Structure 1
Amino acid sequence: MDKKIIVITGASGTGKTTISKYLQDTYHIPSVITHTTRLPRTGEKNGIDYYFETKDSFSNNHYLEKVEYSGNWYGSSEESLNRTWEQYDAASIVVDTKGAVSYKEKYGKNAVVIFLEVDLETVTQRLENRGDDKARLQTRINSNEFQRDLKIPEELRGKSYVIVNNNIKITKETVAKILVNEKIK
């Protein structure tokens, strides 16, 4: 059986983490652990929440995507995905649209891309409800990355599943159908 990576992408506030957690809780599909150079927050554990790296150790991995944010690096590596695939036939990962394109290019049909879409008004409301600072929220919404992630990239058109996530119950039902369609569960 082919190993699969379920790549969940879309803008902030579209429900990516919720869907990743749903896959884990309902189907026991683990999330690939990503790497960061930031220090662990209280209660976070290395190898569970992230692989906490130094700037030097971070550069030793082969990244499918990486980004610098607030002076720290974050990335998802082939090494981490392969470790997950040693134990499971399927895994999920939450990445921005640029990262999703990288996964699709590298893994082809084994990368099942789910693009979550929500209208800007709903996303803004969700981010506000999540407690994001209003000034930082405006900066984020106006950023090139956020604007880019609101739309499915050309490279993924016709090669991924697009779900308008206005109702989490319907979205979860759609994800369940995708798993059947892709012979994942």
Structure 2
Amino acid sequence: MKNRVIVLMGPAGAGKSSVASYIEEKWGIPQVITHTTRAKRIGETDGVDYYFESKASFETKHFLESVNYGGHRYGSSIEGLKRGFEKAPFVSIVLDTKGGQTYEERLGEQAWLWYVTVSNVAELRSRLIARGDDEKAIVQRLSSAEFKRDLALPKAFENKALVIKNDDWEKTKQAIDAQLSKEQND
């Protein structure tokens, strides 16, 4: 099997990280660890959830893509992708839609685009609160241009990206399982 990366995109709170965790646990598809300058949330571990960077250390990495989001820097490095492929030929990564576009441009068919969303946008705020995000950070994130951009599937991804509506976690897992079973059998 050639190396392939599932690119998980969508608005904050839609469940991209939950999908990444699920496909790692059930399907053995490890997540590529990305970098950020934001502070760790309760329960997060450096080198597991993200590589937590200072502004200075962030600048020393070789990024495929990086973005400012909610006042913090995020990015995926070439080294991080290579480390992922050392674990398995099939990996996942959580990105915003702009990062997904970069992956599609740079990796072509090696990038399998998945857009994770919800039917009710108001649900996203509740999910951000439930996961323990700071209220001020939530307000900042929900009002950001990047969040607003990621609320909709980019036109460039129509008929290319798999759209996953994450309104009901059990149905979401069934949809994921159906896709990955089909992929394994092709």
1:174 aligns with 2:175: yes
TM-score of the two chains, using structure 1 as the length reference: 0.84
Q: Which residue of 2 aligns with 1:153?
A: 154
Q: Is the 8 A contact 1:13 1:124 kept in 2?
A: yes
- Structure 1 alignment gaps of length 5 or more: none
CA offsets per residue over residues 88-109 of structure 1, 9 Å max, x none?
1111111111111111111122
User: Shift in Å at residue 148 of structure 1?
Assistant: 0.6
Inter-partner Cα distance in structure 2 for 1:21 and 1:50: 13
CA offsets per residue over residues 112-150 of structure 1, 9 Å max, x none?
111011121222232233344445433322221111111
Q: How does 1:72-87 map to 2 (within 5 A)?
A: 72-87=72-87
Inter-partner Cα distance in structure 2 for 1:158 and 1:109: 14
CA offsets per residue over residues 10-59 of structure 1, 9 Å max, x none?
00111111101101111121111112346767876553343344545433
Partner letter of residue 8 of structure 1? L
Inter-partner Cα distance in structure 2 for 1:19 and 1:82: 21
Q: How does 1:65-144 map to 2 (within 5 A)?
A: 65-68=65-68, 72-118=72-118, 119-144=120-145
Q: Is the 8 A contact 2:70 2:144 kept in 1?
A: no
Q: Which residue of 1 aligns with 2:59?
A: 59
RMSD: 2.7
Q: Is the 8 A contact 1:5 1:110 kept in 2?
A: yes
- Structure 2 alignment gaps of length 5 or more: none
Q: Which residue of 1 aligns with 2:23?
A: 23
TM-score of the two chains, using structure 2 as the length reference: 0.84
Inter-partner Cα distance in structure 2 for 1:183 and 1:70: 37
Inter-partner Cα distance in structure 2 for 1:41 and 1:133: 9
53 and 137 in structure 1: CA distance in 2 versus 1, 3 angstrom threshold: closer
Q: Which residue of 2 aligns with 1:162?
A: 163
Aligned sequence identity (%) = 42
